[in-house]
Structure 1
Amino acid sequence: MFQKTEILKRLDFLLAIIFLQSVIYMLVVFDITVARQIIGFLYFTFLPGYLIVKLLKFHFRTLETLIFSVGFSIASLMLVGLFLNELGSMAGILQPLSTIPLLVTLNLLVLVITALTCGRGASFELFDRVSFGLVKWAVPLMLPLVLSIVGAMLVNMYGDNLILLIMILTISSIATVLILKNNFTSKVYAFAVFIIGISLLYHSSLISRYLCSFGSDIAPEFYTSKHTQMNSYWSSTPPAYFSLSIGRLNNMLSITILPTVYCNLLNLDFAWIFKLISPLIFAFVPICLYHLWQEGFGDKYAFISAFFFMATGTFFSELLGLNRQMIGELFFALLLFILLYKNMNYFQRMFSFTIFGFVLVVSHYALAEIFLFLIVFAWVCMFILKRHSNNLTVGMVALFFVIMFAWYIYTSRSSVFTSFLEYADHVIREDKTIIHGEYFTHLFYLKDWIKSFQVIQEDYKKIRIFAILQGDINNTEKRDIENKIKLVMEDDCDIIWEFVDEIPVTSTGKHLYTKSLLYHD
């Protein structure tokens, strides 16, 4: 009887998936506005990954299931898009990333995974019982998100940011209450992290109907993405007129294939993919980090850590102009989760590491290089200390190394690999200049100048005090002393200027601020 009930449950779930796919087909074919965007986004961003989690029988709790569902779903969209792109072009399909091929292939994939999952006898309980504490706090916790969206609309229409200021105060108040009180569950903290994150992101990204660069790479990213979307095809060998920097961007599927998939399936303007979809995906990064910190430091301190991560200005400003990095950071966080999480068998860990590792490589080259350095360093330390761990093996390090350099060398005219070599050459040449050139001499001279100036400053203070006490130095003599000190400062400030001028130019304008300090008394 029990076995018959389980079979009926699986059959019901399979029929529910078929019905949901029928709804998706209707929404796309008849282009039902709003419903197509909302239901389509939820379907393609959660369901494929959820089915993969159930197929592999991960023993996850609700939060872990949610995070991995998003990760596997985004990875599926990128991998299916890449698969269609390559096989479609070989089969003579001119636009393999157009709506119909994408929709049919993704729905077929979902149906196959559902059948396999039912065949393996997996449980399909998505969420645990919702606690009363979470329901009680859901409405007040949603307030910052409402204020964020309404406030951004008022800024666009009337130029009034009062609501956004109230939103920031509301977030501060919620964070204070959650930190000072001790009667909250982990689900309340996690929900608060997500709402605060998406509220901060939307309060910046939704201002203006146009894309805001925030001093980052949004313009070339948009150009590269639009080039793929207009052709409904991603070229692994970009045109010769692409510069090296554009070639690097073309190598990233996170801003070529992924936005194209969302744009064609949801029929959403490309700018809104960057303003709505990417920040929403990025909002899951703080949740993943919260869960990582939760295991070691507890709910409250994990929330504080995640809050400080979101409270930095870069989180809701500069990163909004780096869509490839927002997507890449999700997989970076998931890879850290895989390395630190203990309740996985070997196959689950290797499968997740391979998928997320590949998607990180094709999402953001700098994060991939950082992660490679991180795992190499960790493995070397374990080798020296003679500590063995199944969470990180030499095979995993070698696999990531091969995937990364194979992709960067053999796609997009080796733009990323060439840039890496050029940067390494630049660092070596600059090192030689610093060690053997004039800057090395100036460094010692600068130290001597600082010591000399400190002596002059102390002597000047003594003279001023003596003059006040004795009254035997007239104003003309005081001005002569001051003029001599200023002359020394003006002559030797040129040396400091050369050092300050070597500060890398960033979008935040820190080098300009540092230079301006030279003119302050």
Structure 2
Amino acid sequence: MPQIIWRSNSIFAIVLVLQSLLNIAIFLNLPFIREVLGFVCLTFIPGFLALNLLKLEKLGLGDTVFLSVGISIALLMFFGLFLNELLPLFGILRPLSTESLIITLTFMNVLLGFILYHKQNPPKIVSFRSSLFDLNICVALVCLPILSVIGSILMNAKGDNSLLLLMMILISVCFLAVLALQRKFTLDIFYVASLTIYIAILFATWLATNYILGYDSQSEFYAFQITRNAAFWNPMKTFELERDKAMGTLSVTILPTIYSNIMGLNATWILKIVYPLFASFVPLGLYQFYLSHTKKEAAFLGVFLFIIHSLDGLGSLKEWIATIFYVP
């Protein structure tokens, strides 16, 4: 049975390597590499390090991924707020600029990694079983988001939605196939299926147009743009209720500003790519929650029911982030 052994020193080394590669990618402005490494280093590393420091026992892979995402998002929001309030006292008037974030976030990740290394926690052993059949199905499921992206590009360029319709049919086929063949899997394929299916659906919805979807999203996009352009969060009153609510929310001001500056993506693509990726982790938490009360098949059915009732997301963008913290 394959095993992954997480030792404190190896985790610290991985953090140093990833953080160094990210800083190089930002300095050289390497396309794609900067976006991917930026998303990984922001979304997983802080939460994963904090999770290991908490010494929580009996966490499966799904729990670890979902909790890492949630803790990372929380840390980034409050760390960004801390920078926003502290750095101006030292004359740095753009505390959320790319330069400030590179230095401070690198320090945060390295510090968490160093503390974990210094504590020398007992190594964690994660065991999993997989077969060639499992890997083939996983590859097929991963193709769904790829097909969704290609179909959305085709939809935008030529108005042809045939690939998106094909993707929807394939999602139904994959759903039925995973349920019918679940006894043949050695890996818990429901985690992968839940994640990839929801990513594919959200991308098909949000990438099929060049514009931001939703009513609340417009005011949230405005608040994000104001914060990003100023590199400073100022919850000013505009005397417009929706804009004031957005300006007072860290999840649509400071959080997307951090992602935008680190990943080098403009505001529109942060909301159309990064936030759907955030929301796609919610089914993982739901599946784990349902699993504690019922069988795997019923848990997956519950997750799929949630997905088909949330085809365009989880409400406003700030509600997407709130749902991540609500699910556990």
If the length of structure 1 is used for normalisation, what is the TM-score?
0.59
Coordinate RMSD, CA, aligned: 1.9
SS in 1 for 2:327: helix
Paired letter, 1:66: V
- 1:317 and 2:284 correspond: no
Deviation of 1:113 after TM superposition, in Å, equals: 1.2
Q: Which residue of 1 aligns with 2:28?
A: 30
Range with bigger deviation, 133-142 or 252-261: 133-142
Question: In structure 2, what residue type is equivalent to 1:297?
Answer: T
Give the match for residue 37 of structure 2: 39
Deviation larger for 289-298 or 130-139: 130-139
1:267 is matched with 264
Q: SS at 1:296's partner residue?
A: coil
Contact 1:54–1:117 (CA under 8 A) maintained in structure 2: yes
By percentage of residues, which structure has more helix?
1
Alignment CA distance shift 1:259-1:115 (3 Å)? same
Distance 2:250 2:125 in 1: 30
Give the equivalent residue in structure 1 for 2:163: 163
**Residue identity in the other structure for 2:119:** R
Q: Distance in 1 between matches of 2:244 and 2:217?
A: 15
| Higher relative contact order (CA closer than 8 Å, sequence separation 6+) | 2
CA-to-aligned-CA distance 1:173-216 (integer Å, 9 cap, x gap): 11112223441356201100001110110001011222233xx2
Structure 2 equivalent of residue 143 of structure 1: 143
Matches within 5 A, 1:160-199: 160-183=160-183, 184-185=185-186, 187-199=188-200
1:278 aligns with 2:275: yes
CA distance in 1, matches of 2:10, 2:244: 48
- Alignment partner, residue 99 of structure 2: 100
1:225 equivalenced with 2:219 (yes/no) = no
Distance 1:221 1:299, change over 3 A: same
More divergent stretch after superposition (20-29 vs 263-272): 20-29
> Are the structure 2 counterparts of residues 185 and 259 from structure 1 closer, same or farther at C-alpha, using a change threshold of 3 Å?
same
Counterpart mapping for 1:44-443 below 5 A: 44-59=42-57, 60-123=59-122, 125=124, 127-132=126-131, 133-183=133-183, 184-185=185-186, 187-213=188-214, 216-236=215-235, 238-239=236-237, 241-312=238-309, 315-317=310-312, 319=314, 322-334=316-328
Distance 1:141 1:16, change over 3 A: closer
Q: Does the residue aligned with 2:121 lie in a helix, a strand or coil?
A: coil
Contiguous gaps of at least 5 residues in structure 2: none
What is the TM-score with the length of structure 2 in the denominator?
A: 0.92
Q: Does the 8 Å contact 1:54/1:123 carry over to 2?
A: no
| Code of the aligned partner of 2:154 | L
Deviation at 1:146?
2.2
**CA separation in 2, counterparts of 1:195 and 1:104?**
33
Deviation at 1:128, TM superposition (A): 3.3
After superposition, give the CA deviation of every residue in 1:419-439 in whole Å (9 maximum; x if it has no partner).
xxxxxxxxxxxxxxxxxxxxx
Q: Secondary structure at the match of 2:188?
A: helix
On the 8 A contact 2:216/2:242 being kept in 1, the answer is: no
Q: Counterpart of 2:277 in structure 1: which amino acid?
A: L
% same residue: 31
Structure 1 residues 42 and 124 mapped into 2: Cα distance closer, same or farther (>3 Å)?
A: farther
Aligned length: 320
